[in-house]
Structure 1
Amino acid sequence: MEKQETRYTWHKVFDSVTEAREQVPLRKLKQLKLDGRAICFAHTASGFFALDDTCPHLGYSLSKGTTNYLDEVICPWHSYRYSMRDGRECEFRTRKAAFHRVEVREEGVFVGIEQTAATT
Structure 2
Amino acid sequence: MPEKKWYKIAPSKEELFEPPNDKTEVTIEGKTICVISINETLYACAAKCPHAGGRLMYGKTDLAGSIVCPVHHYRFNLKNGFNTSGEGYFLTTWRIAEKEDGIYILL
Q: TM-score, normalised by structure 2?
A: 0.87
Q: What is the CA distance between 1:27 and its match in structure 2? A: 7.0
**In the alignment, which residue of structure 1 is the partner of 2:60?**
66
* CA offset digits 1:94-118 (Å, max 9, x no partner): 32100100011111110111xxxxx
Q: Gaps spanning 5+ residues in structure 2: where?
A: none
Question: In structure 1, how many angstroms separate the alpha carbons of the residues matched to 2:18 and 2:87?
Answer: 29
**In the alignment, which residue of structure 2 is the partner of 1:37?**
31
- The structure-2 alpha-carbon separation of the partners of 1:58 and 1:94, relative to structure 1 and needing over 3 Å to count, comes to farther
Cα RMSD of the aligned pairs, angstroms, is 2.1
**In the alignment, which residue of structure 1 is the partner of 2:104?**
110
Q: Gaps spanning 5+ residues in structure 1: where?
A: 114-120
Q: TM-score, normalised by structure 1?
A: 0.78
Q: Percent identity of the aligned residues?
A: 23
Is 1:47 the equivalent of 2:41? yes
Question: In structure 2, how many angstroms separate the alpha carbons of the residues matched to 1:27 and 1:45?
Answer: 13
Is contact 1:56-1:94 (8 Å) kept? Answer: no
Which structure has the greater CA radius of gyration?
Answer: 1
Structure 1 stretches of 4+ moved >6 Å: none
